[in-house]
Structure 1
Amino acid sequence: MNNYILSFTKKFDYLFVQKEISNIIYLHDEDDNERLDHVLFLEKDNGDVIGLYIRGMNPLISMNRIYDLDDFNLFASYEGLIECKENIKLKIEYVGLFFSTQYNELFGLYLANNDASSSIFILFLQDEIYVEKDWSIYEARRMLEKRFSTEGFITYEKKCETDWKQVNF
C-alpha cells in the first residue's frame, strides 16, 4: 500500500468505519433549485456531517456543514444553497475503496452494513458525484469495470474490526 492509499484509508477509518449514517444531503442552488451534482454530505446519526466535493481528480473531504464553514468555496458561485435530505439508515461495517491502477486517484467508495442489506455506492467522476443506494459490492464493481476498464482499478476493503486489505475479485 503506497502513501497515497494509506492516507485515504486512514481518513476513511476515522470518518466512516463503525459510524451510522442517517441522511444523504444534496445541495440545491437557491435561485433555480438545480441540484449541485459535484458535492454531497453524509449526515451521521449524531448530527455531524462528512462532505464530499469533486472537481477534477480526487474528492475533497470536509467535516463542516456548508453554512458553518464553506470548505468547498461554494458561496463564490452560489448566493444561497438549500439542503435536501434523503433518509437512509446505515451502520457502516464494510468499506470498499476503489483506486486507479495508473494514477493516484480515488474512483469511488462503497459503504455497507454487515450483510450489505443497506449500502451506499459513491462514484467520483471528473465533475460529478454519482450515488446509488442498496447496491451489492458486485454491482458496484461492474459499474467500475464498465466505466474504468481501460485504466483498471484496485480495491481495498475493511470489514468491522479487520485491517485494510487489497481484494482481488
Structure 2
Amino acid sequence: MNNYILSFIKKFDHFFVQKEISNIIFLHDEDDDERLDHVLFLEKDDGDVIGLYIRGMNPIISMNRLNDLDDFNLFASYEELFECKENFKLKIEYLALCFSTQYNELFGLYLANNDASSSIFILFLHDEIYVEKDCSKYDARRMLEKRFSAEGFITYEKKYETDWKQVSF
C-alpha cells in the first residue's frame, strides 16, 4: 500500500467508518435549478455533513456546510445555491475504496450496512460525481469495469471492526 492510498484510507476511516447517514444532499443552482453534479454532501444523523467535491482526478473532502465555510469555492461560480435533500438511512459498517492501478486516482467509494441491504456507490468521474443508491457490490463492480477496465483498479475494504485489506471487489 503506497502513501497515496494510505492517506485516503485514513481520511475515509475518519470520516465514514461507523457513521450513520440520514440524508444525501445535492446542490442546485438557483438561477436555472440545475443540479451541480460535481459536489455532494452526506448528512450524518447528528446533523453534521461530509462534503465531496470533484474537479480533476481526486475528490476533496470537507466537514463544513456550504453556508458555514465554502471549502469548495462554489460561490466563485454560483450566485445562489440551495440544498435538495434525499432521505437515505445508512449505518456504515462496510467501506470499499477503488483506486486506479496506473495512477494515484480514486475511482469509487462503496458504503453499506453489515448485510448490504442499504448501500451507496459513489463514482468519481473527473468532473462529475455519480451516485447509485442500494447498489449491490456486484453491480458496483460492473460499473467500475465498464468505465475503467482499460486502466484497471485495485480495491481496499474495511468491514465492521476489521482492518483494511486489499480484495477483489
Shorter-chain TM-score range: over 0.9
Deviations 1:51-72 (Å, cap 9, x if unpaired)? Answer: 0000110001000000000000
Are residue 31 (structure 1) and residue 31 (structure 2) matched?
yes
Separation in structure 2 between the aligned mates of residue 156 and residue 91 of structure 1, nearest angstrom: 19
Deviations 1:30-65 (Å, cap 9, x if unpaired)? Answer: 111100000000000000000000011000100000
Separation in structure 2 between the aligned mates of residue 71 and residue 28 of structure 1, nearest angstrom: 17
- State TM-score, norm by structure 1: 0.99
Separation in structure 2 between the aligned mates of residue 36 and residue 12 of structure 1, nearest angstrom: 23
Shift of 1:4: 0.4
Q: How does 1:8-87 map to 2 (within 5 A)?
A: 8-87=8-87
Shift of 1:168: 2.1
Q: Percent of aligned positions with the same letter in both sequences?
A: 87
- State TM-score, norm by structure 2: 0.99
SS of 2:6's partner is helix
Which residue number in structure 1 is paired with residue 93 of structure 2? 93
Shift of 1:82: 0.5
Separation in structure 1 between the aligned mates of residue 15 and residue 56 of structure 2, nearest angstrom: 22
Which residue number in structure 1 is paired with residue 105 of structure 2? 105
SS of 2:144's partner is helix
SS of 1:37's partner is coil
Where structure 2 has 5 or more consecutive residues not aligned to the other structure, the ranges are none
List 4+ stretches of structure 1 deviating above 4 A: none
State the Cα RMSD in Å: 0.6
Separation in structure 1 between the aligned mates of residue 119 and residue 148 of structure 2, nearest angstrom: 21
Deviations 1:69-90 (Å, cap 9, x if unpaired)? Answer: 0000000000110000000010
Shift of 1:126: 1.1
Which residue number in structure 2 is paired with residue 116 of structure 1? 116
Q: How many residues align?
A: 169
Separation in structure 2 between the aligned mates of residue 78 and residue 58 of structure 1, nearest angstrom: 22
Separation in structure 2 between the aligned mates of residue 59 and residue 111 of structure 1, nearest angstrom: 16
